[in-house]
Amino acid sequence: ALRWLGDNTEYGAYFMNYHSRTPIVSMQNANRGDIGNALLALSSPATAALAQPILLGRGSYFLEYPEDIRLYGLSFSTTLPTGTAWSGEISYRPNMPLQTNTTDLTPLLATTVAGGFAGGGVAGALGAAGQVSHGYIRKEVTQAQTTFTQFFDQVMGAERLTLVGELGLTYVGGMTDDVGERYGRDAVYGVPENPAAASRYGSHGFYTSSSWGYRARAIWDYPNVIAGINLKPNLAWSHDVDGYGPVFNEGSKAASIGLDADYQNTYTASLSYTNFFGGDYNTISDRDFVALSFGVNF
């Protein structure tokens, strides 16, 4: 990483090579014995319908963590004449692994065996035993974000009010709508090619080329409220406005209210409530939670 200062603005440039900390779901075909049972089922009209369930049921999934993801970034930080702190960052990952839609991935447990059978008969089908279908494709992902922070003194009885706003945009290169190269959209929404799923959930929710959203937060500082106890009530809001991607899910929103406290800057406690809502493809839209934590600084 490099940092330098010019015209009251701090600039930065950095590079990172890292391994994914987010697990990717991948599939592995059934073994030779189970494929043999599926082929045997095909030999009789009475049992032919069991062939595909055997292949799907005897296949397996596993989690993997793709390696050697390259990250390039540029950043800046400055203060505007209004006293507003303004910072921004743009990052580029030329080989970011994106999880393929798992409803597109699962049928590969059968179609790869069927393809082997079509091309090489029984030997070709058995040759597909244990074959791995990696659940990701690497794409170029660019993300830009900018943050504004403004301080106001003596507001609502607080010594200071801090307002923070952040705007983010994600762009994914080389996107298509082809089956097998679709990303995102939780499996609970089914396969769009299935009329029943399409009529209920539609055919959207997969990653789009671009997506964006914003976040906002307000913090009030009340120092020494009671015998050395400092209080910081806070409000937060997030809204994914448009598009679907690794960070944003169109229409998803979250609101939270919290209170942070510390005693003589040593003992800390935090209580917050968060509610998630909105979004046609938001799997946590019906959830909320309360968090309580305690800490000691030493």
pTM of the model: 0.84
Average pLDDT, the chain: 90
For residue 60, the model assigns a pLDDT of 84
Q: How confident is the model at residue 77 (pLDDT cuts 50, 70, 90)?
A: very high
Measured CA to CA in angstroms, residue 106 lies from 72, 183, 267 at distances of 34, 14, 50
What does the alpha-carbon distance between residue 242 and residue 265 come to, in Å, rounded to a whole number?
41
For residue 259, the model assigns a pLDDT of 98
Q: What is the pLDDT of residues 134-146, one digit of tens each?
A: 999 999 999 999 9
**pLDDT > 90? residue 95:** yes
**pLDDT > 80? residue 280:** yes
Q: In what order do the strands lie in the sheet with 210-226?
A: 2-6, 9-18, 69-79, 85-99, 136-155, 158-172, 210-226, 229-242, 253-263, 267-277, 288-296
For residue 4, the model assigns a pLDDT of 92
Q: What is the pLDDT of residues 148-198, one digit of tens each?
A: 999 999 999 999 999 999 999 999 998 887 777 889 889 888 887 777 777
Q: How confident is the model at residue 35 (pLDDT cuts 50, 70, 90)?
A: confident
Supply 105's token pair: 């991935």
Range with the lowest mean pLDDT among 47-51, 58-62, 67-71? 47-51
For residue 178, the model assigns a pLDDT of 76
